[in-house]
């Protein structure tokens, strides 16, 4: 029961409230304080030393910048980072979820597709557009919403529905 409650409490409450970096540092300091208490068991000074360890450790970690996340934002699902770079004279924006690049977007050019699967989707959409320009497409997972932007630019009569579990991803794609 404790494991289940801890898992749900961490996944749905603590990560949203504090972020994973702060939680990990807090747990580390709590374990250090418990270690001090057990080391000095039976002595009233152990509580004071444990408190000093926690406060001192937290202050030191904060001053070192260890509590700052590498994420632009940390959602319940992902550590979201945005990386801007210039490649071949083009402004490229990458959406990185955790440690994986989920999309490359050429700023100002919604018709630019990088991934092979996106190019296949584009070919299929073109093939279908000849038969029905008002086609409907359902995408599971939005990533950087690269393909919906492509469809909006190239096939404006089409309707694209995107199912994305993480509202933070959708917010950053906008």
Which pair of structure tokens corresponds to residue 76?
A: 């319940």
* Cα–Cα distance, 80 to 52 (Å, whole number): 34
Are the C-beta atoms of residues 56 and 147 closer than 8 Å to each other? no
Residue 90 has pLDDT above 80, yes or no: yes
Q: Give residue 61's pLDDT band: very low, low, confident or very high (50, 70, 90).
A: confident
Residues in Cβ contact with 122 at an 8 Å cutoff, skipping those fewer than 6 apart: 113, 147, 150, 154
Least confident of 6-10, 31-35, 36-40, 125-129: 36-40
- Token digits of residue 94: 């990458």
d(CA 89, CA 112): 14
Token couple for 37:
């208490």
Q: What angle do CA 81, 85, 91 make, to 5 degrees?
A: 115
Report DSSP letters for 86-141, one per residue: EETTEEEEEEEETTEEEEEEETT-TT---SHHHHHHHHHHHHHHHH-TT-EEEEE-
Helix (H) or strand (E) holding 81: strand 79-87
pLDDT given at position 158: 93
Looking at residue 69, what is its pLDDT? 66
Mean pLDDT of the chain: 85
In the block, tokens 């309707």 appear at 159
CB of 49 closer than 8 Å to CB of 33: no
Q: How far apart are CA 149 and CA 146, in angstroms?
A: 5
Tell me: the pLDDT tens digits for 13-40?
887 787 777 788 888 888 888 887 777 7
Section 30-53 average pLDDT = 77
Statement: residue 123 has pLDDT above 90: yes
């Amino acid at each position: 029961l404790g494991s289940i409650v801890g898992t749900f409490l961490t996944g749905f409450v603590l990560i949203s409230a504090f972020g994973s970096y702060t939680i990990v540092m807090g747990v580390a300091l709590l374990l250090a304080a418990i270690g001090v208490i057990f080391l000095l068991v039976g002595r009233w000074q152990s509580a004071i030393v444990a408190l000093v360890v926690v406060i001192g450790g937290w202050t030191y970690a904060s001053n070192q910048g260890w509590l700052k996340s590498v994420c632009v934002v940390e959602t319940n699902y992902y550590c979201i980072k945005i990386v801007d770079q210039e490649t071949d004279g083009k402004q490229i924006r990458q959406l990185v979820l955790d440690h994986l690049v989920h999309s490359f977007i050429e700023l100002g050019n919604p018709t630019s597709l990088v991934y092979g699967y996106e190019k296949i989707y584009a070919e299929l959409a073109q093939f279908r557009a000849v038969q029905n320009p008002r086609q409907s497409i359902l995408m599971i997972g939005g990533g950087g919403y690269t393909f919906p932007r492509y469809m909006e630019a190239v096939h404006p009569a089409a309707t694209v529905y995107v199912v994305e579990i993480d509202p933070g991803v959708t917010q950053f794609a906008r």
